[in-house]
């Protein structure tokens, strides 16, 4: 009797523990996705989102980052100061200059090159691709050092060649000249991007169905007409992708070259908005001013990005 009872009780206990463990397993399953995402989310939270919020707060404060001191709230002072700073106005102009200036290198020339070289056979194509890609993998410091040497005012290859060809008779100090400095930084950035963009456009082109071109050719469409009516519309997702990349990243691409070659000068003629943020923060130790600029441009770039996203949804033509 008691034996039977014990068995029944132990069976019941077993059931209860089973239920418990099943419930535990179910709640574990519920938590599992978050557990797997935890490291990434935690790291992005600590090193991206939390500091971004701190920057928004710092934009309204004055602080020199000296340990032991506390930031003082100053309201909109930093924003007012920003617009009274001449270099800041310069930097906005240059940011626009670099952003628009990069488009021929990231979209127009690469697209034409990709079209002009479409249909090349595999192995030859790979050799070219391998060479086109080299600027993309080199460090900004490396590229900066080489260009600085190539454009050296007294002994650089460019000055030597220009004089040998009789184009100029004196040395040009490219990086300390307000006109040349920013064009050179633009060209360097373009040089780094052009090969990469060409490869991206070539890859997109090979995915276009060749039948379209054959049909168009049968209908008597010229090459130029094919480009305008078939190629460009079908490449529009790639074009918009590269446009977004260029706008969001051109200031980051130029940052390194500005820092290495001109430090923003001469007279702020080659600086851009991100370089000003860096200068305010780590040269002038003015965390508030830097954060105000960061906040302002975060908003500007967010609006542009939303706009481009809508544009992509509306105009990108997909060949399904």
Partner 1 sequence: MKRIKSITVLQHFLLIMMSIIAIFPLYWMIISSFKNESEIFTSSFIPQAPTWQNYLYAFAEMPIIQMLFNSFVVATLMTILQLATSLLAGYALVRWNFKGKLLIFTLLSLTWLIPFQAVMIPNYVLINQIGLNENPLGIVLPFAASTFAILSIYQSFKSFPTALIDAARLDGESDLGILFRIILPNIRSTVVSLGIILFINAWNEYLWPMLVTKEMENAPIQIGLKSFVNSDVNMWGSLMAATTISCIPILLIYLFLQKHIVDSFVRFGIK
Cβ closest to partner 1, residue 8 vs residue 160? 160
Q: Applying CB under 8 A, does 85 fall inside the site for partner 1?
A: no
DSSP state of 73: E
Q: Applying CB under 8 A, does 145 fall inside the site for partner 1?
A: yes
3-state secondary structure of 286: coil
Q: Distance between alpha carbon 46 and the CA centroid of its chain, in Å?
A: 21
Q: Applying CB under 8 A, does 10 fall inside the site for partner 1?
A: no
3-state secondary structure of 61: strand
Question: Using the rule CB under 8 A, which residue among 24, 130, 179, 215 binds partner 1?
Answer: 130
Q: Applying CB under 8 A, does 151 fall inside the site for partner 1?
A: no
Per-residue interface string for the shown chain with partner 1, residues 225-244, x marking contact by CB under 8 A:
----------------x---
From 88-96, 97-105, 158-166, 208-216, give the range in contact with partner 1 by CB under 8 A: 158-166
Q: Which sign, positive or negative, has the C-alpha torsion 131, 208, 319, 243?
A: positive
Cβ closest to partner 1, residue 1 vs residue 218? 218
- Cα–Cα distance measured from residue 287 to residue 290, given in angstroms and rounded to the nearest whole number: 5
DSSP state of 220: T
Q: Applying CB under 8 A, does 157 fall inside the site for partner 1?
A: yes
Q: 163: Cβ–Cβ under 8 A, 6 or more apart, which residues?
A: 169, 171
- Cα–Cα distance measured from residue 90 to residue 271, given in angstroms and rounded to the nearest whole number: 7
Residue 244 C-beta: closest distance to partner 1, Å: 9
Six-digit token string for 180: 């040349």
Q: Applying CB under 8 A, does 96 fall inside the site for partner 1?
A: no
List the alpha helices (DSSP H) in the chain: 2-44, 50-58, 77-84, 86-101, 103, 109-116, 122-137, 140-150, 157-164, 178-206, 210-218, 223-226, 232-257, 273-282, 287-315
Cβ closest to partner 1, residue 42 vs residue 72? 42
Residue 132 C-beta: closest distance to partner 1, Å: 5
Six-digit token string for 43: 């790291």
Q: What are phi and psi of 73, to 5 degrees?
A: -75, 130
Q: Applying CB under 8 A, does 168 fall inside the site for partner 1?
A: no
Question: Using the rule CB under 8 A, which residue among 103, 150, 221, 316 binds partner 1?
Answer: 150
- Cα–Cα distance measured from residue 99 to residue 59, given in angstroms and rounded to the nearest whole number: 25
Question: Using the rule CB under 8 A, which residue among 60, 105, 147, 174 binds partner 1?
Answer: 147
Question: Using the rule CB under 8 A, which residue among 14, 23, 32, 225 binds partner 1?
Answer: 32
Question: Using the rule CB under 8 A, which residue among 172, 213, 249, 265 binds partner 1?
Answer: 249
From 85-93, 175-183, 193-201, 224-232, give the range in contact with partner 1 by CB under 8 A: 193-201
Residue 314 C-beta: closest distance to partner 1, Å: 19
Binders of partner 1 among 298-317, rule CB under 8 A?
298, 301-302, 305
Cβ closest to partner 1, residue 212 vs residue 249? 249
Q: Applying CB under 8 A, does 50 fall inside the site for partner 1?
A: yes
- Cα–Cα distance measured from residue 264 to residue 272, given in angstroms and rounded to the nearest whole number: 7
From 17-25, 28-36, 96-104, 171-179, give the range in contact with partner 1 by CB under 8 A: 28-36
- Cα–Cα distance measured from residue 261 to residue 225, given in angstroms and rounded to the nearest whole number: 43
Rounded-to-10 torsion of CA 95, 96, 100, 102: -10
Q: Applying CB under 8 A, does 257 fall inside the site for partner 1?
A: no
């Amino acid at each position: 009797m008691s034996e039977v009872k014990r068995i029944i009780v132990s069976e019941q206990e077993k059931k209860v523990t089973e239920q418990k463990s099943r419930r535990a397993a179910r709640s574990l399953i519920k938590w599992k996705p978050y557990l797997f995402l935890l490291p990434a989310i935690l790291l992005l939270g600590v090193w991206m989102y939390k500091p971004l919020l701190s920057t928004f707060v710092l934009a309204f404060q004055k602080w020199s980052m000296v340990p032991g001191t506390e930031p003082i709230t100053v309201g909109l002072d930093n924003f007012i100061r920003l617009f009274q700073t001449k270099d800041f106005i310069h930097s906005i102009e240059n940011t626009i200059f670099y952003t628009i200036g990069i488009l021929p290198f990231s979209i127009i020339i690469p697209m034409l090159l990709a079209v002009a070289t479409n249909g090349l056979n595999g192995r030859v194509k790979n050799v070219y691709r391998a060479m086109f890609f080299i600027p993309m993998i080199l460090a900004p410091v490396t590229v900066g050092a080489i260009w600085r040497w190539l454009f050296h005012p007294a002994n650089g290859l460019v000055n030597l060649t220009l004089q040998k060809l009789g184009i100029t008779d004196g040395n040009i100090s490219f990086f300390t000249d307000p006109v040349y400095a920013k064009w050179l930084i633009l060209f360097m950035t373009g040089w780094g991007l052009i090969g990469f963009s060409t490869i991206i456009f070539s890859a997109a082109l090979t995915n276009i169905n060749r039948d379209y071109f054959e049909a168009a050719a049968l209908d008597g469409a010229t090459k130029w007409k094919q480009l305008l009516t078939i190629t460009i519309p079908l490449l529009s997702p790639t074009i918009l992708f590269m446009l977004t990349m260029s706008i969001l990243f051109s200031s980051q691409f130029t940052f390194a070259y500005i820092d290495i070659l001109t430090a923003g000068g001469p007279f702020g003629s080659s600086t851009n908005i991100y370089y000003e943020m860096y200068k305010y923060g780590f040269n002038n130790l003015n965390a508030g001013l830097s954060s105000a600029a960061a906040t302002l441009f975060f908003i500007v770039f967010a609006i542009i990005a939303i706009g481009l996203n809508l544009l992509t949804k509306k105009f990108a033509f997909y060949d399904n």
